[in-house]
Every structure is written in structure tokens, then in C-alpha cells.
């Protein structure tokens, strides 16, 4: 349970730092975006590192949510506290969405995709899908 809180905190902080360090180009023009990335290399590198660490942390929370939902569907014991904590990911994405829509949507899609990929359905001891 503490691990889930740490993953939530890391994902939220890294998402905020990624959004604050990424260049803001309005209206969005691809050449201006790339130019801003090249003229501020340290800030851009830190934003990319925070993006990577944050989406991996959020993917662990998404994986836990989906695994517990699958346990609920196949009538296996569910760890309700971890499942409840994983639901707290949605308000954090809503908060990040208020800061920057595009980057948060990209962050969310990477997190959900990697979280779904990382589920181990071959583990026959825990899941028996019929």
C-alpha cells in the first residue's frame, strides 16, 4: 500500500515537472517547438526524464487497477485498499490536464498503454479466464 502511494506521488510530481519544464508554444508550430527544445537542452532533457519516470510510475498504478479489476471479474480475492488508491490516479490526471492538455493527454496515453502491456496474464495461479 505504501508502494502505491509512492508511485502516485512520483507520477504526480514528475507529471507536474514535465509540464512545467516542457516548452510552451502557442499557437503550436512544430519548428518553434523543436527550436525551443534545442535552445534549452538541460530543461528539455529534464522534461524528458520526468516524462519517462512519471509514465512508468503511473503505469504501475494502472496495472494494479486493471489487475484488481480482473480479479474482481473472475471472483478472486481483491486487495480493496490498493484498488481504491489506484483510483486516485484520475484526480491527478485531471489536475495535470488543467495545466496543459496536450502533454497530459500524451502522458495519460503512454501510462495506460504501458500499464496494459505490463499485465502478466500468463500467471495461471492468479487468473483463470474462461
The CB density around residue 14, as the number of other CB atoms within 10 Å, is 22
> What is residue 123's predicted lDDT score, i.e. its pLDDT?
61
Span 15-58, pLDDT tens digits: 999 999 988 877 878 888 888 888 988 999 999 999 999 999 99
Q: Would you list the domain boundaries of the chain? A: 2-117
Q: Higher confidence at residue 125 or residue 10? A: 10
Q: Which three cell numbers stand for residue 78?
A: 481483491
Q: How far apart are CA 59 and CA 6, in angstroms?
A: 13
State the Rg of the chain over Cα: 17
Amino acid at each position: 500500500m505504501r508502494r502505491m502511494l509512492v508511485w502516485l506521488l512520483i507520477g504526480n510530481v514528475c507529471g507536474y515537472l514535465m509540464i512545467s519544464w516542457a516548452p510552451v508554444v502557442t499557437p503550436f508550430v512544430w519548428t518553434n517547438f523543436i527550436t525551443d527544445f534545442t535552445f534549452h537542452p538541460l530543461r528539455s532533457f529534464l522534461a524528458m526524464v520526468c516524462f519517462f519516470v512519471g509514465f512508468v510510475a503511473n503505469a504501475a498504478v494502472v496495472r494494479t487497477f486493471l489487475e484488481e479489476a480482473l480479479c474482481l471479474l473472475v471472483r478472486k480475492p481483491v486487495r480493496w485498499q490498493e484498488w481504491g488508491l489506484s483510483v486516485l490516479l484520475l484526480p491527478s490526471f485531471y489536475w495535470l490536464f488543467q495545466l496543459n492538455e496536450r502533454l497530459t493527454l500524451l502522458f495519460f496515453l503512454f501510462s495506460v498503454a504501458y500499464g496494459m502491456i505490463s499485465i502478466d496474464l500468463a500467471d495461471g495461479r492468479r487468473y483463470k479466464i474462461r
